[in-house]
Structure 1
Amino acid sequence: MRNNYLLALLSAFLLWLAWPPIPYSSVLLFIGFVPLLVAIEQVMRGNYKRKGSKVFGLAFFTGFVWNTASIYWVYNAMNAFLPALPSLFVALIPYTLGPLLMALAFRLYYQMRKRNSILLSFMGLISFWIAYEYLHQSWELSFPWMTLGNGFSNFHQLVQWYSVTGVYGGTLWIWLVNVVVFLWYWQRREQVEVYSNKILLSVTSALVLIPSVGSIIAYSQYEEHINPSEVVTVQPNIDPFGKWGPITPEEQMRVLMDLSQKVAKLNTEFFIWPETAISNYGGINEEEFREYPQYRAVIDFLEPYHNGNVLSGIESYQFYDDQRTFTARPVGNLFKDHFNAAVLIDGSSKLQFYHKSKLVPGAELMPFGSKLAFMKPLFQHFGGTTGGYGSQEEPSVFYSASGIGAAPVICYESIWGNYVAEYVAKGAQFIAVITNDGWWGDTSGKDQHLLYAKLRAIENRRWVVRSANTGISAFINQRGDIVQRSSWWVPTALSQEINLNEELTFYTKNKDLIVYLALLTGLISIGLMMVRNKKITNDSPND
């Protein structure tokens, strides 16, 4: 088994090397799983006991090493919110839970191989893998950071067709190439030819070249419809660990406005400020926001900009007469709900709020909180978000007085392609990602977060404007090119004329159709797994 684990380690190394932010390395994803598939094949054909457990262990080992090496920075992020021991516990969720689900997909693949041909079994493996990725973006322990299709964010010229398939198209592409390369390599090594090696090489070439060449042509020929809007994004660079210590909420507002004014033009229509940029000690009451000095300061700031709007992160709360949400906590005779939110402020008295929906498990959300309510006293030392922040179920679009629709995407939400597409389907003409990547420190996390935003631009053919407190602020065009970006740990503001877009892509209108196809083929695979064939094929392993 030692050699098999070395092969599994080789897969983990290739997958890590292929993962952002290493530029143009994503082509290694096409062979990343081949060593692991070889190791698993050797187990299935070898003289081992408990083969299923060994297959599971190999797959988990690859997934754990690959995930931990790629997202080591998660511990930094959790440690910003939680004490050391709970931080380590929460960080183990993405380090281990994803790999466990990956390993389960391989375990089910092994079960299929005992009863079905290798091609049918690979259909099952790909279906189970995509089902795992979909589950990991859908439940309360969601963390879709490591969805395979995200791996092409460092080489976006190859995946312009994400405007049709989304990132799951990338996942399917990677797996199809890995399977064909594995079949070719295994046959060459074993000196057999169940399938023609020439055909396998031809299929591999076609699978890699046709989508790549087609994408590069689409990239080179893509032209944006001219519909300009002047936008400013601000990076105040305020240390999140020292917030409200050396700097007050009023001082933060002055920093934001001063940076904005340095690059603003009279025709600037949107000022994008980062996550929790507007706040107060204890938060801001949404019903009474107009009475706060922060609101008055923004209104005064906007006076020279006749079509100006400030789209900003805000720490807010609401009071209810009853506990209408699980996250609302009793305060006297009322119930108080805290939000990590966004607000749109213009020259009128109109206010638009959006409450972050995709909350970070552990830091902003107690997973399965309604079922784990008894644990709330254990989490009270976490601060003002005991039981989690409040949220809203669906995205909402902010509209300026001139009718421009903006998608207020808060931090973690920008990883969900289908969720961001809902904003666009509802009328968003550009995407504003407001975030605070400073919790992670100067790690690859901030770079990965920036690069993933390129995929949202391609999927929806919308400009993405990123405003990061201490991360990387940027403008990304409809092809996924980073047109402007800030440096790490530098207070700055950037101004850019972007093009608004109203056309909807196939992906925006139809979302993740590949997932539904995979779920269907996954159900078929489970059915095949449960029905023993009368004749076991010669490429099926025996226990």
Structure 2
Amino acid sequence: MKQNYLLALLSAVILWLAWPPVPYSSPLLFVGFVPLLIAIEKIMRGNYTHKGKKIFWLSFLTGFIWNTASIYWVYNAMNAYLPSYVSLLISLIPFGLAPLLMALVFRLYYQLRKRTAIGYSFIGLVSFWLGYEFLHQWWDLAFPWMTLGNGFANFHQLVQWYSFTGVFGGTVWIWAVNLFVFMFIWQKREKIEVFHSKKLMIAITATLALPIGASIIQYNTYVEHTNPSEVVVVQPNIDPYGKFGLIPPAEQLTTLLELSERVAKPNTEFFLWPETALSSERGAIDEEQFRAHPAYERVIDFLNRYKNGNVLSGIESYQIYNYAKTSTARDYGNGVFLDPFNAAVLIDQSSKLQFYHKSKLVPGVEQLPFGETLSFMKPLFAHFGGSTGGYGSQEEPSVFYSQSGIGAAPVICYESIWGDYVAEYIRKGAQFIAIVTNDGWWGNTSGKDQHLLYAKLRAIENRRWVARSANTGISGFINQRGDIVQKTAWWTADALAQEINLNEELTFYTKNGDLILYLALFGGLFSVFLLFKKSSFPPFFLTKKETKPNEVSSWIPK
């Protein structure tokens, strides 16, 4: 059993080395699960008791080490204000929850292997894995950071076809290659040939070469339609832990205006300011009264120098109701209910204001998952600039339109990890993606780099430029092929100007979303049916013509 744990550890190390921001290491993902699959196969065939439990915990070990090594910065962010032991306990939620779901996937795979041919088992494995990744985008503890397809964010030249499939296409690709390589190695190891080695090599080569070849051709032949717009992104470099209370909002606004003016041109159309860039002395700003706020007047005065200028900025805002209109509205007495938002606002020279309320809220920081079940996390909200009852939100994304008709997608921080959600902005008319974020919570860790790199995938999926403004982190511009054209240094006050190309065409992915998940749903339901079906099912991957009886049994575990 010791050797099996070493194989599981090897898988974890390979997957970690393959993960961004390590440059050009993504191809390691193609063999990352092979040692774990070999270990699982050995347990299936060994003289062990409680094989299912052993496979579950072996898989958990791989997932836990891989996850923790890749997103260690979660602990780093919490440890800034909380005691180390408390930070460690809370960090175990993102560190441990995903590995538990991963382990459940492999446990179900083992059940399928006992009841069905290996081909059906592989369908179940991939379908259940996609189901886990979808769940981690959908439920209250959503954290899709470790979706397998994100692993190519640092080698985007290989996945230009994400404009058809999105990141879940990358997940399927990684699994397909891993499974073929696993079968090839296992047969060589056991000196059997259930599947002809040449055919397996052809399958491995084709599964690798065809997507890579298609992607490289796309990358080298893709040409942006010329439709220029001048955009400025600003990085004020204000420490997030000192932003609220230590630096007056008026001083923060002065910094934003001065940095903007440093690189602005007469034809600049958008000035992009980071998440929560606008606030008041008391914290949030009443959206209905914002036009009377001194910050609004200063922004309008600034825009008077730019004929078509717009400021797209993050803002701490709230709305007041006379009844409990939403579940997040707080009762302040006398019929007053206040709903706080992590929001974005578009300010132009008209009297119109456009607000967007962040929808994909960070669990445990901006929203309370599962209502009162996790009420013990309420004290953590204040430490992250959140609210003890959670922020309000809106159900669907909305597009900001300038007076000249340009549509911008106001994507706030964490939301940039959701492929289909960002695509919804584009379906509603966004011609470029504007990400406003604050990555300084994590310090100088790989978290800020991963967040930037994931934005490249949104550019490819939708063939839209990405303009990214980070309070502290890395700001910059990404073109429609996913190339980072400009970026700032870490922890540096700066502003960048770039002429981007607006795009109105919709990619296949933008139009259709994550179709692969529907196939996964069908595959998952079919696999559950096989788990409960009493009679045998026709063989898949095992035929009498190609195999001898002893070779067939070599792929059937005890």
Please, which of 514, 524, 527 is the counterpart of residue 525 of structure 1? Answer: 527
In the TM superposition, 1:505-516 aligns within 5 A as: 505-516=507-518
Q: What is residue 440 of structure 2 aligned with on the other side?
A: 438
Provide the alpha-carbon RMSD of the alignment.
Answer: 1.7
Is the partner of 1:137 in helix, strand or coil?
helix
Aligned to 1:30: 30
1:494/1:374 CA distance change after superposition, 3 Å:
closer
Deviation at 1:321, TM superposition (A): 1.1
Q: Is 2:368–2:378's contact at 8 Å kept on the other side of the alignment?
A: no
Aligned counterpart, 1:313: 314
Q: Give the drift of 1:246.
A: 3.8
**Bigger mean CA offset, 322-331 vs 339-348:** 322-331
Rounded Cα–Cα distance in structure 2 between residues aligned with 1:431 and 1:349: 24
Of 387, 409, 413, the match for 2:411? 409
Structure 1 unaligned regions, length at least 5:
none
Q: Return the alpha-carbon distance in structure 2 between the equivalents of residues 376 and 214 of structure 1.
A: 47
Distance between the aligned counterparts of 2:351 and 2:374, measured in 1?
39
CA distance in 2, matches of 1:271, 1:482: 19
Secondary structure, counterpart of 1:176 in structure 2: helix
Q: Which residue in 2 is equivalent to 1:158?
A: 158
The offset of 1:204, in angstroms, is 0.2
Amino acid at match of 2:325: R
Relative to the length of structure 2, the TM-score reads 0.94
Q: Is the 8 A contact 1:376 1:387 kept in 2?
A: no
Q: Deviations over 1:396-416 (max 9, x none)?
A: 000000000000000000000
Tell me the equivalent position of 2:328. 327
Higher mean alpha-carbon deviation, 384-393 vs 6-15, is at 384-393
- Check the 8 A contact 2:467/2:477 in 1, yes or no: yes
Name the CA distance, whole Å, in 2 between partners of 1:31 and 1:293: 57
Q: Which amino acid aligns with 1:433?
A: I
Percent identical pairs in the alignment equals: 68
Residues 504 and 231 (structure 1), Cα distance of their counterparts in 2 relative to 1, 3 Å cut: same
| 2-structure distance, mates of 1:221, 1:177 | 26
Cα distance, 1:381–1:205 mapped onto 2, change above 3 Å? closer
Cα distance, 1:165–1:320 mapped onto 2, change above 3 Å: same
Residue type of the partner of 1:155? F
- Equivalent in the alignment of 2:286: 285
Structure 2 Cα separation of the partners of residues 395 and 107 of structure 1: 37
Whether the aligned pair in 2 keeps the contact of 1:277 and 1:314 (CA below 8 Å) is: yes
Report runs of 4+ in structure 1 exceeding 6 Å deviation: 376-381
- TM-superposed deviation, 1:541: 4.7
Report the Cα distance in structure 2 between the residues aligned to 1:39 and 1:110, rounded to whole angstroms. Answer: 12
Task: Determine the structure 2 residue equivalent to 1:53.
Answer: 53
What is the identity, as a one-letter code, of the residue corresponding to 2:33? F
Can you give the 5+ residue segments of structure 2 that lack an aligned partner in the other structure?
A: 540-551
Residue number in structure 2 paired with 1:222: 222
- Contact in 1 for aligned 2:368/2:375 (Cα 8 Å): no
Letter in 1 for 2:534: R
Tell me how far 1:380 sits from its aligned partner: 8.1
Change (3 A) 1:434 1:379: closer
Residue 484 of structure 1 is matched in structure 2 by 486
**Shift in Å, 1:91:** 1.9
Give the CA deviation at 1:386: 1.4
Confirm or deny: 8 A CA contact 1:81 1:363 kept in the other structure. no
Closer, same or farther in 2 for the Cα pair 1:384/1:227, shift >3 Å? closer
- The structural deviation recorded for 1:77 is 2.8
Q: Tell me if the contact between 2:366 and 2:386 (Cα under 8 Å) persists in the aligned partners.
A: no
Query: Residue deviations 1:44-83, cap 9 Å, x none?
Result: 0000000000010111000000000000001223445766
| Map of 2:546 onto structure 1 | none
> Which one is further off, 321-330 or 492-501?
321-330
User: Partner of 1:104 in structure 2?
Assistant: 104
Residues 436 and 534 of structure 1, relative CA distance in 2, 3 Å threshold:
closer
Using the alignment, how far apart are the partners of 2:386 and 2:363 within structure 1? Answer: 16
Q: 1:125 to 1:485 in 2, by over 3 A?
A: same
CA spacing shift, 1:249–1:44, aligned 2, 3 Å = same
Amino acid across the alignment from 2:6: L
Distance in 2, matches of 1:81 and 1:368, equals 25
Q: Distance in 2 between matches of 1:83 and 1:300?
A: 45
Question: In structure 2, what is the equivalent of residue 251 of structure 1?
Answer: 251
**Cα distance in 2 for residues equivalent to 1:408 and 1:83:** 35
Q: Distance in 1 between matches of 2:82 and 2:293?
A: 30
Deviation at 1:457, TM superposition (A): 0.1
> What's the offset of the Cα at 1:376?
8.3
> Taking structure 1 as the reference length, what is the TM-score of the superposition?
0.97
Q: Which residue of 1 aligns with 2:548?
A: none
Map of 2:302 onto structure 1? 301
1:236-272 Cα offsets, whole Å, 9 max, x none, are 0001111134421000000000000000001000000
Structure 1 match to 2:553: 538
Residue pair 1:82, 1:363 contacting (<8 A) in 2 also: no
Letter in 2 for 1:143: F
For 1:276, the equivalent position in structure 2 comes to: 276
Which amino acid is the alignment partner of residue 142 of structure 2? S
Contact map agreement 1:233 1:465 (CA 8 A) in 2: yes
Please say if 1:457 is aligned against 2:434.
Answer: no
More displaced, 232-241 or 77-86? 77-86
Q: CA contact under 8 A between 2:368 and 2:374: conserved in structure 1?
A: no
Equivalent of 1:503 in 481, 502, 505 = 505
Q: CA deviation at 1:90?
A: 3.2
1:458 maps to a residue whose letter is I
Q: What is the alpha-carbon distance in structure 1 between the residues aligned to residue 220 and residue 380 of structure 2?
A: 52
> How far did 1:377 drift?
7.3
